[in-house]
């Protein structure tokens, strides 16, 4: 009997040693695999994701529109030639080169020459070369006109597209971070479940040894196997979740040439990044003070500015259309012979006047412009309130999750202490496989919940900066 007791003690001592070695090695699973950190992942997204490249293309298009709007102020050179000869007789020959220079204030400078020859010229045409230099002024648009409005609106649209890019990056970074932390969470759950399943498998071997030695009942083997099968089921589900989230993560991985990349099978996350124990909480008041700089609000500011320019232009159409043109004429296009006394005798002038009697079209357009501004201002107010409320709720969630994590960290430590204590009692024959299984499941469940809360905290932390429009 003494020999049998001594042999049983040796078996149990060996069991304790093996279990301690197993628990110590559980944290080193996949230690040799490649690691994809959060910063490395975000760097890839920023550099190669097509959404960001599309935003850059939109900015380039806006720059092209600004260049096109500048074209309305380009000098224009034109010329016309008409000639008729019949039976070797010159009926007429007209050559009319001219250059027009638009200016910012709606005044067009013009220089031209009419060169006319032939037997059948238009009666109002002066034979020979006649030079002209003058201006054309639209008095109703001298304060503001379509050309200036188009250029200023194009510049504002360029700024709007730049804020749109910032908003695109903000949205993309948040979605990418949410996917990354989900991938980290699923990996961590898979890792600890796999480690626990391996511990359960080793426990079956030890129980079988003790059953063979008569230290355990045969039913303990069946209970240990049932526990192992349950853990394997969890492990398989966890592996599927991890692989699925890896495929989701691949959607954010692109190569420099614009082709999609696939996340390699041997790449794992930086699991230690889940722990935010030393992370400083963002200053809420500081973030709240930056809400007015949110890209959504800045885009609406730019939209309002564009609409106000349109409103300013519409007001000009309430004025009568009055165009005045005038210039000096000189024979043979020789302007050096012009004097102050000869100008009244050699000039060309004209006036065009146009005014609708009721101005219904102009008044309707102005009213629509006013209503569009009001509509956008209301949209801005509502959007600002939404952003502020989202920021407050995100910060409240972050604060709540931090408190929950502290509670669960305490719970996990307690469950682990109970599990380890039960293992020691089991090794000395003072506990049952049923109690080991119960403690193990409780510890695993609490550990998984802690991982889930830590991942949610990371998402919530990103959500705060996303709500403030500060993710870059």
When the pLDDT of each residue in the chain is averaged and rounded to a whole number, the result is: 85
Is residue 268 situated within a structural domain? yes
User: What is the per-residue pLDDT across 380-398, written as a single tens digit (0 to 9) for each?
Assistant: 999 999 999 999 999 999 9
Do 151 and 41 lie in one domain? The reply is yes
pLDDT reported for residue 414: 93
Do 454 and 437 lie in one domain? The reply is yes
Last-in-domain residue among 299, 331, 358: 358
pLDDT reported for residue 294: 94
User: What is the per-residue pLDDT across 315-349, written as a single tens digit (0 to 9) for each?
Assistant: 988 888 888 888 887 877 666 666 666 666 777 88
Is residue 132 situated within a structural domain? yes
pLDDT reported for residue 434: 87
- For residue 305 the two structure tokens come to 């500015």
Q: Span 136-162, mean pLDDT?
A: 90
Q: Could you tell me the pLDDT band of residue 79, with boundaries at 50, 70 and 90?
A: very high
Do 106 and 244 lie in one domain? The reply is no
Higher per-residue pLDDT: 278 or 195: 195
Question: Is residue 1 over pLDDT 50?
Answer: no
Which range is most confident: 100-109, 187-196, 278-287, 433-442? 187-196
Do 137 and 107 lie in one domain? The reply is yes
Question: Is residue 109 over pLDDT 50?
Answer: yes
pLDDT reported for residue 436: 86
Q: Span 6-28, mean pLDDT?
A: 40
pLDDT reported for residue 177: 95
pLDDT reported for residue 277: 62
Do 174 and 247 lie in one domain? The reply is yes
Higher per-residue pLDDT: 125 or 278: 125
Question: Is residue 26 over pLDDT 50?
Answer: no
Do 189 and 244 lie in one domain? The reply is yes
pLDDT reported for residue 23: 38
Do 81 and 216 lie in one domain? The reply is no
pLDDT reported for residue 78: 94
pLDDT reported for residue 18: 39
3-state secondary structure the chain: CHHHHHHHHHHHHHHHHHHHHHHHHHHHCCCCCEEECHHHHHHHHHHHCHHHHHHHHHHHHHHHHHHHHHHHHCCEEECCEEEEEECCEEEEEEECCEEEEECCCCEEEEEEEEEEECCCCCCCCCCEEEEEEEEEEEHHHCCCCHHHHHHHHHHHHHHHHHHHHHHHHHHHHHHHHHHHHHHHHHHHHHHHHHHHHHHHHHHHHHHHHHHHHCCCCCHHHHHHHHHHHHHHHHHHHHHHHHHHHHHHHHCCCECCCCCECCCCCCEEECHHHHCCCCCCCCCHHHHHHCHHHCHHHHHHHHHHHHHHHHHHHHHHCCCCEEEEEEEEEEECCCHHHCCCCCHHHCEEEEEEEECCCCCHHHHHHHHHHHHHHHHHHHHHHHHHHHHHHHHHHHHHHHHHHHHHHHHHHHHHHHHHHHHHHHHHHHHCCCCCHHHHHHHHHHHHHHHHHHHHHHHHHHHHHHHHHHHCCCCC
Do 180 and 102 lie in one domain? The reply is no
Lowest mean pLDDT among 40-54, 93-107, 278-292, 456-470: 278-292
Q: How many independent structural domains does the chain possess?
A: 2
pLDDT reported for residue 255: 87
Which range is most confident: 37-41, 89-93, 119-123, 188-192? 188-192
Is residue 158 situated within a structural domain? yes
Is residue 381 situated within a structural domain? yes
CB 110 within 8 A of CB 128: no
Do 171 and 119 lie in one domain? The reply is no
Structural domain of residue 297, as residue ranges?
A: 2-69+147-311+363-467
Is residue 386 situated within a structural domain? yes
Higher per-residue pLDDT: 124 or 443: 443
Question: In the chain, what percentage of residues exceed pLDDT 90?
Answer: 46
Do 349 and 371 lie in one domain? The reply is no
pLDDT reported for residue 336: 65
Is residue 472 situated within a structural domain? no
Is residue 316 situated within a structural domain? no
Do 89 and 46 lie in one domain? The reply is no
Is residue 339 situated within a structural domain? yes
User: What is the distance, to the nearest Å, from the Cα of residue 330 to the centroid of all Cα atoms in its chain?
Assistant: 63
pLDDT reported for residue 444: 92
Do 127 and 151 lie in one domain? The reply is no
- CATH number of the domain at 200, please: 1.20.1600.10
Question: Is residue 185 over pLDDT 90?
Answer: yes
pLDDT reported for residue 335: 66
């Amino acid at each position: 009997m003494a020999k049998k007791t001594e042999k049983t003690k040796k078996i149990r001592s060996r069991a304790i040693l093996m279990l301690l070695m197993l628990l110590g090695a559980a944290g080193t699973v996949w230690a040799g695999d490649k690691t994809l950190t959060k910063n490395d992942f975000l760097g890839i997204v920023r550099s190669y994701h097509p959404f960001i490249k599309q935003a850059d293309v939109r900015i380039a298009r806006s720059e092209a529109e600004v260049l096109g709007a500048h074209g309305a102020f380009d000098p224009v050179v034109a010329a016309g030639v008409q000639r008729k000869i019949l039976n070797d007789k010159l009926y007429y020959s007209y050559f009319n080169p001219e250059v027009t220079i638009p200016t910012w204030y709606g005044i067009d400078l013009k220089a031209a020459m009419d060169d006319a020859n032939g037997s059948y010229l238009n009666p109002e045409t002066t034979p020979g070369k006649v030079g002209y230099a003058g201006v054309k002024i639209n008095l109703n648009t001298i304060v503001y006109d379509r050309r200036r409005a188009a250029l200023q609106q194009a510049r504002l649209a360029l700024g709007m597209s730049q804020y749109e890019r910032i908003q695109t990056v903000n949205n993309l970074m948040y979605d990418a971070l949410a996917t990354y932390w989900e991938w980290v969470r699923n990996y961590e759950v898979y890792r600890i479940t796999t480690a626990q399943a391996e511990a359960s498998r080793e426990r079956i071997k030890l129980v079988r040894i003790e059953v063979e030695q008569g230290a355990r009942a045969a039913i303990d083997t069946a209970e240990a196997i049932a526990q192992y099968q349950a853990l394997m089921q969890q492990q398989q589900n966890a592996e599927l979740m991890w692989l699925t989230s890896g495929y989701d993560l691949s959607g954010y991985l692109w190569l420099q040439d614009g082709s999609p990349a696939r996340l390699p099978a041997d790449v794992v996350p930086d699991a230690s990044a889940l722990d935010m124990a030393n992370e400083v909480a963002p200053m809420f008041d500081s973030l709240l003070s930056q809400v007015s700089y949110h890209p959504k609000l800045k885009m609406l500011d730019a939209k309002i500015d564009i609409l106000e320019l349109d409103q300013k232009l519409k007001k000009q159409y309430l004025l009568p259309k009055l165009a005045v043109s005038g210039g000096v004429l000189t024979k043979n296009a020789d302007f050096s012979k012009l004097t102050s006394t000869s100008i009244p005798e050699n000039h060309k002038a004209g006036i065009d006047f146009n005014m609708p009697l009721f101005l219904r079209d102009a008044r309707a357009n102005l009213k629509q412009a006013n209503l569009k501004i009001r509509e956008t201002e209301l949209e801005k107010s509502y959007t600002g309130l939404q952003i502020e409320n989202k920021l407050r709720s995100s910060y409240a969630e972050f604060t709540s999750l931090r408190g929950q994590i502290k509670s669960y960290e305490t719970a996990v430590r307690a469950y682990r202490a109970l599990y380890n204590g039960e293992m020691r009692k089991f090794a000395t024959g003072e506990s049952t496989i049923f109690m080991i299984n119960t403690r193990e499941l409780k510890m695993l469940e609490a550990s998984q919940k802690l991982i889930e809360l830590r991942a949610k905290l990371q998402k919530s932390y990103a959500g705060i900066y996303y709500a403030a429009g500060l993710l870059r």
